[in-house]
Structure 1
Amino acid sequence: MKKLTIFLWAALAAGNVSAQTLIQAYKNRADLVSQTSITSNLQEFSNLGIKTTGSLNNANTLAWIKNKYTSYGYSASQIVEDPFTFGSTSSKNLVITKTGTLYPDKYVIICGHYDTVTGPGTNDNGSGTSVILEVAKILKDVPTEYSIKFIHFSGEEQGLYGSSHYANNIAYQNGVKKLDIKLVFNLDQVGGKLGKTNTKIVCERDTAGQSGNNAASNTVTQQLATCTTLYSPLQTSISNAYASDYIPFEQKGYVITGFYEYTRSYTEHTVNDTFTNVDPVYVFKVAKAAVGAMQHFATASSVITAVSADKEKPVKSLESVKIYPSPAKDILTVELPDPMIKDFTVEITDLQGLSVLKVANKSQMNVSRLKNGIYLCTVKTEGSSITRKIIIEK
């Protein structure tokens, strides 16, 4: 019963759909994780060699990650390099931003480092890097209420330099929080070791540093564990966060959680941290859990799509429909993902389910007569429907 509680809440937040519908929609996307893609990314990361912060290999790895996002369809404006320096060493973080539909200025961060020491670091942290890339690929066109930042940090191995720079100079400036961050979800060393039993993942919570964010961290970490069992075959263990890229955020009062391998590989920081020693199937399972968790944390949409009996008329998904602006004052616009869709309805209901406005085949609606507040906007076509929250504010 406790497991369903957070998803009943999430279902309401996502637009008054049933918990079963929401969970199924999230599971469908988690099932899109590709073992081939995970294995390929782990191999390519390993082949880039030792990625010491500030080295040529480190810069080449940054370019490799950047090219991945470009291939997924992220625009140049979404991909930002974040340079930093410590001592005589210079490097860059890579930050990719996906804007939320309802809370564009509140962020869920999923992050991990790409720098290594001694070996190619396929587990520490090519595994976390590969998972983040897979999450970004699958969620690229999935509407989420909260914005997502996919961040790849450098300088972690030398002392969390990249994440400290970002937390202290971008997220937090001159004693003031500049970024409204819902939570930071860190992935570090989630590759296991080939040949060992890798059936469990550690979900990390905040138990040190500032005490004011501990309770919230415990809550989201419990949610992370629930998502893991819902969307992957992995079992979970709750442990403490330490010594990775979420710590500088925790020190600024932000809420953190994370993944770390349960059965230790002990290849980190050695020449043995190679592709031949990592468990790609385990990384695949971690990615499924991460896709499910990120949908929950960022409140992804739930879409009910039917299969058309007429193969000549395939059902068009409304997954990427745009409803804007929110808040809306006078005119609300519905932008369908396929301009060829001509037969559709748009209905606005209040939170009690009472219909307050309904139109057919119109992309713009006059909402000026509606009172200020939160409403649900449902777009329906043949065989597909989607519900989003909107805000009316004058």
Structure 2
Amino acid sequence: MKKAVVFLLTSIALQNMSAQSFIQAYKNRADMVTQTNINTNLQEFAGFGIKKTGTTANNNTLDWLKNKYLSYGYTVSDFSEDAFTYGGNPSKNLIITKTGTLYPNKYVIICGHYDTIVGPGVSDNGSGTSIILEAARILKDIPTEYSIKFIHFSGEEQGLVGSNHYVNNVAYQGSTKVLDIKLVLNIDQVGGLIGNNNNTITCERDTGGLSSNNTASNTMTQELMTCTTLYSPLQTNLSYAYSSDYMPFEAKGYTITGFYEYLRSENEHTVSDTYANIDPVYVFNVGKAAVGALQHFAVATTSNNLLSTHEATTQKPSEEIRIYPNPAKDFVTVEFQQKVKQFKIEVNDMAGNTVLTLENQEKINTAGLKNGVYTFTIKTDKGNTTKKIIINK
């Protein structure tokens, strides 16, 4: 839902590639998005008709989503439901949690709404729903350092009712912050219009509301744009976030970003928002971008993962080194499983420039480093260990 707001476009943004590099494993998984699955998801979504919050069609769509996740190998223990009432009618948000390996209590959220108000809503928001399903399918058994929550909101079309309820009753309880959320990636209306030149996706950053989270959102949105160009054929347009399910998160200070179609289809909230009128190939390509970006933000494992904390080592497992936290701010700690008296540390940026050299320091002051990705190489008489750390202040 993006109603009653003037859509302002910025110029095509230039990509800052210095902090991110192409990762073949991420591309391989992004390419696992299939046009067949996207088409099937969109058509099945359309088949439920108008999915107004609290209606039988809305509830049937929720059951369809659950069955999709079960077919991917998720279990009921991975599910949670956030129930709320609108206009006297009950509805539910569906949350599927995939637990991270290093930061199980810090979450990357990918979300979109499944309710509609007029017509089947295949673009708004069957497109986002289909992409989230594909991302969940592909990443089911891929370890990620951060936990991922795949969230399907209801009540969006009535004024972000479902996402407001989730943020104020699950993410927060009263004034107490319950969920530590690294990022919220929202996908809303990315269906395009058949016949348009749908080669560009809008990436949305936080420019209003609370000012304290704008800088982090801008950084994450730039990374989203880079991931899009790395892992999909799409170009990117930089715009601003508004009027969708990330806004209640923004109001609580969380970092948000999102995808939205670049050329407006103008079919939202009409009987014309059907499978016949959208561009399924566009949804397919946005799906590739989303899977690539989700791996980046959640730090998916791979042997050549430039963001992994277990990337390359010439040491024995018993001599493994931990470097944390990741992402880091002003300090990074080096921890040896077995005590090492003499060691050297070399920190390089992604251009290969050495920015720090230290000896025998287990706590590294990184306050002088700019946001980005750095290699930390620990050299001992047993060998070298190189790991990648994100600096994000």
SS at match of 2:157: coil
CA distance in 1: counterparts of 2:322 and 2:116, whole angstroms: 50
Aligned partner letter, 1:100: G
**CA shift for structure 1 position 53:** 0.3
When residues 63 and 388 of structure 1 are mapped into structure 2, their CA distance, relative to the original with a 3 A threshold, is farther
When residues 145 and 373 of structure 1 are mapped into structure 2, their CA distance, relative to the original with a 3 A threshold, is farther
Aligned partner letter, 2:36: T
**CA shift for structure 1 position 304:** 5.7
**CA shift for structure 1 position 131:** 0.4
1:280-300 C-alpha deviation (Å, 9 max, x unpaired):
000000000000000010011
1:316-355 alignment to 2 at 5 Å?
346=317, 348-350=319-321
1:178-231 C-alpha deviation (Å, 9 max, x unpaired):
100001000000010111110000000001110000010001000000000000
Match of 2:313 in 1: none
Aligned partner letter, 1:350: I
When residues 373 and 76 of structure 1 are mapped into structure 2, their CA distance, relative to the original with a 3 A threshold, is farther
**Number of aligned positions between the proteins:** 318
Q: Does 2:34 match 1:6?
A: no
1:323-361 C-alpha deviation (Å, 9 max, x unpaired):
9xxxxxxxxxxxxxxxxxxxxx84644379xxxxxxxxx
Aligned partner letter, 1:186: N
1:1-394 alignment to 2 at 5 Å?
3-7=16-20, 19=21, 23-303=23-303, 346=317, 348-350=319-321, 367=337
**CA shift for structure 1 position 105:** 0.2
Conservation of the 8 A alpha-carbon contact between 1:112 and 1:125? yes
SS at match of 1:303: coil
**CA shift for structure 1 position 90:** 1.3
1:2-50 C-alpha deviation (Å, 9 max, x unpaired):
733322xxxxxxxxxxx55xx1111111111111000110000001111
Match of 2:331 in 1: none
1:50-75 C-alpha deviation (Å, 9 max, x unpaired):
10000000000000011000000011
TM-score (norm 2): 0.76
TM-score (norm 1): 0.76
Query: Percent same amino acid among aligned pairs?
Result: 65
Aligned partner letter, 1:257: T
Runs of 4+ in 1 over 2 A off after TM superposition: 1-7, 345-352, 366-376
Conservation of the 8 A alpha-carbon contact between 1:301 and 1:388? no
CA distance in 1: counterparts of 2:24 and 2:177, whole angstroms: 36
Conservation of the 8 A alpha-carbon contact between 2:30 and 2:292? yes
SS at match of 2:270: coil
> Can you give the 5+ residue segments of structure 2 that lack an aligned partner in the other structure?
1-13, 311-315, 324-335, 342-361, 365-375, 378-385, 389-393
CA distance in 1: counterparts of 2:106 and 2:340, whole angstroms: 26
> Can you give the 5+ residue segments of structure 1 that lack an aligned partner in the other structure?
8-18, 306-322, 324-344, 353-365, 377-386, 390-394
**CA shift for structure 1 position 82:** 1.4
CA distance in 1: counterparts of 2:223 and 2:101, whole angstroms: 22
Match of 2:7 in 1: none
C-alpha root-mean-square deviation of aligned residues, in Å?
2.7
